[in-house]
Structure 1
Amino acid sequence: MTRIFITGSADGLGRAAAETLLGEGHDVVVHARDENRLAAAKDLVGRGASAVAGDLSDPAETREVAAQVNRIGDVDVVIHNAGVYTGSAIMPVNVVAPYLLTALIEGPRRLVYLSSGMHRSGRPDASRLRSGTYADSKLFVTTLAVAVSRIRPGVAGNAVDPGWVPTRMGGPGAPDDLRLGHLTQEWLATSDDPEALTGGGYWHHRQRRDPHPATRERHFQDTLLAALADLTGTPLS
């Protein structure tokens, strides 16, 4: 049995992944931004999931989420699913929170970060951490996934483009398959397939794809990690 923490798992792709992984017998930790939102996951808790709450747009609450997860016990996998598309929380939720949780949660050997095909339109400029676009945020979190695999031997960090799927964020008219939208995350989290055990990949429907070239540039990785460490006061060891 694998213990898997999934951010933003009260609805959408995060909830779908939690449902599947619980059904397969894994130990799942679900997350919502507050206790009211956790009510949407009470059926998952009733099936045996653990639950944590905290607003990932607030670094202090993000640190508390990490502390809650660590109190539950060592986690094998983190799926960084939570994300927002518009507003001032884009960078805090899509980039800063995954970075802090990566730095603070103890033990995971597999880390899965939700990206987007839109990351290819992002600008590889770490100064945009305070004011960047959605595309910038997905470029940054994809770069984080690749960098983690480089600096943490034995840890497989991967980014996933789930496609444009009919979730609350994607909208009811989204054309892609919802099941395929969370299948790759589940596979990377639990499979013993040799491909799933590799790190530094950018995946779409269980197929490796070529990401923005900047994600693989060591200088940009190091610049981004340094900027995140400076912004949060927490280095990524």
Structure 2
Amino acid sequence: MSGVFITGSADGLGQMAARLLVDAGHQVVLHARSAARAEQALRAVPQAQAALIDKPQRLVYLSSGLHRSGDASLDDLAWERRPWQGTGAYSDSKLHDALLAFAIARRWPGVLSNALEPGWVATKMGGAGAPDDLQAAPKTQVWLAVSDEPAATVSGAYFYHMKPRETHPALHDVAVQERLIQACEVFSGIRLPD
């Protein structure tokens, strides 16, 4: 069994994926933005733990079908030059998630790095009327994180319900990937290790 670190695991799909992994016997490390959220996450998945990690063997980025509507120009990452628009910001952020997955796949050949869309599911984000299967949503995350099936041990791919799916063309554009990585370094002050 393997160790799995899950960001966004205080609730929602991340927490559902954590439960599936724990139930399958994997060691799970949860992530939260505050001590209170960390305690909440650990209460929900008590078999998990908190820890520091080195370069992982696998990275799984949670994107969305809305990434296809994202702005690949990256001209306005801070949304400073245009009015705030929630759907546009969400689409851009999910495009950026997938871009990072593809950039890491290219830069770190020893790491399996992929992105997926869980579908429009009934979470706090998706709303009660979302039509996709909530129980199926985290299964692709878990599959990409731990499965030894050949279809899951690829890198630089995008999935929906454990099957490859077409993406925004910019995901394969190395120049766009590198611009995003450079922007992340400027925002965070941290350089992505080679």
TM score, norm. by length of structure 2: 0.90
Which amino acid is 1:126 matched to?
L
**In the TM superposition, what is the alpha-carbon distance from 1:236 to its structure 2 partner?**
1.2
Give the aligned partner of residue 2 of structure 1. 2
Is 2:34 the partner of 1:26? Answer: no
Is 2:92 the partner of 1:144? Answer: no
SS at match of 1:126: coil
Distance in 1, Cα, partners of 2:48 & 2:124: 23
Higher relative contact order (CA 8 A, sep 6+): 2
SS at match of 1:188: helix
Is 2:81 the partner of 1:133? Answer: no
| Moved segments of 4+, more than 4 Å | none
Which amino acid is 1:21 matched to?
L
**In the TM superposition, what is the alpha-carbon distance from 1:44 to its structure 2 partner?**
4.4
TM score, norm. by length of structure 1: 0.74
**In the TM superposition, what is the alpha-carbon distance from 1:38 to its structure 2 partner?**
3.0
Distance in 1, Cα, partners of 2:107 & 2:157: 14
**In the TM superposition, what is the alpha-carbon distance from 1:152 to its structure 2 partner?**
0.6
User: How many aligned residue pairs are there?
Assistant: 185
Give the aligned partner of residue 48 of structure 2. 49
Distance in 2, Cα, partners of 1:209 & 1:41: 31
| Residues 84-233 of structure 1 mapped to structure 2, 5 A cutoff | 106-131=54-79, 133-233=89-189
Whether contact under 8 Å (2:57, 2:112) holds in the other structure is yes
Distance in 2, Cα, partners of 1:27 & 1:120: 34
Larger helix percent: 1
SS at match of 1:184: helix
Is 2:13 the partner of 1:13? Answer: yes
Residues 57-83 of structure 1 deviation map (CA, whole Å, 9 limit, x = unaligned): xxxxxxxxxxxx32xxx4xxxxxxxxx
**In the TM superposition, what is the alpha-carbon distance from 1:30 to its structure 2 partner?**
1.3
**In the TM superposition, what is the alpha-carbon distance from 1:205 to its structure 2 partner?**
0.4
Residues 142-165 of structure 1 deviation map (CA, whole Å, 9 limit, x = unaligned): 111001000111111101100000
**In the TM superposition, what is the alpha-carbon distance from 1:228 to its structure 2 partner?**
1.5
**In the TM superposition, what is the alpha-carbon distance from 1:231 to its structure 2 partner?**
2.1
